[in-house]
Amino acid sequence: MQLTTKGRYAVTAMLDLASNDTGKPITLDIISQRQNISLSYLEQLFAKLRRAELVKSVRGPGGGYLLDAAAKDINLTQIIEAVDENIDLRRCKGMGSCHNGRQCISHQLWCEVSEQIRTFLNGKTLQMVIDDHNLTKGL
């Protein structure tokens, strides 16, 4: 797994949306400014997040985006996978064919590490990350 800017920015933008939730839609322009992420990049990410039903869009004046579920109900795996990131460290993507068509010597190791990462990310919700951040800031 190589978490690219796509996955990191998607998580960051979703955290921004969750931590600034007032019940009113937030524009991508505001998230872009607060998080220093390109607006056009956010538009691409939010199209995928919307298709995954993690956010909903509100059109018209005062429009923008809202979480489609409570922050406590959205985990990091959902976000990362929604933007087409892969949480599998195996080169063979689980096929067991990375070493001249056969399973490599480290296949089982990467299976276990990938599962640990998936378990960790599944167990972390947006709300948990926000709460951890606020705790370290002393809020």
Evaluate if residue 116 carries a pLDDT over 60: yes
Report helix angle 39-51 to 5-19, nearest 10: 80
Per-residue pLDDT averaged across 114-136, rounded? 94
Confidence class of residue 139 from pLDDT cuts 50, 70 and 90? Answer: low
End-to-end CA distance of the chain: 33
User: How many C-beta atoms surround the C-beta of residue 110 within 10 A?
Assistant: 18
Look over the chain and give the mean of its residue pLDDT values, rounded to a whole number. 91
The DSSP output letter for 98 is: T
14-52 pLDDT, tens digit each:
999 999 999 999 999 999 999 999 999 999 999 999 999
- What is the greatest pairwise CA distance in the chain? 58
Q: How many CB atoms lie within 10 A of CB 38?
A: 12
pLDDT above 90 (res 106): no
Domains in the chain, CATH or no CATH each: 5-138 (1.10.10.10)
Which is higher by pLDDT, 102 or 113? 113
Going through 11-138 in order, the beta strands assigned E by DSSP cover: 55-58, 64-67
pLDDT for the residue 38 = 97
Q: Would you say the C-alpha torsion 97, 101, 103, 104 has a positive or negative sign?
A: negative
How large is the average pLDDT for residues 7-19? Answer: 97
**Residue 111 scores a pLDDT above 60:** yes
pLDDT at 41: 97
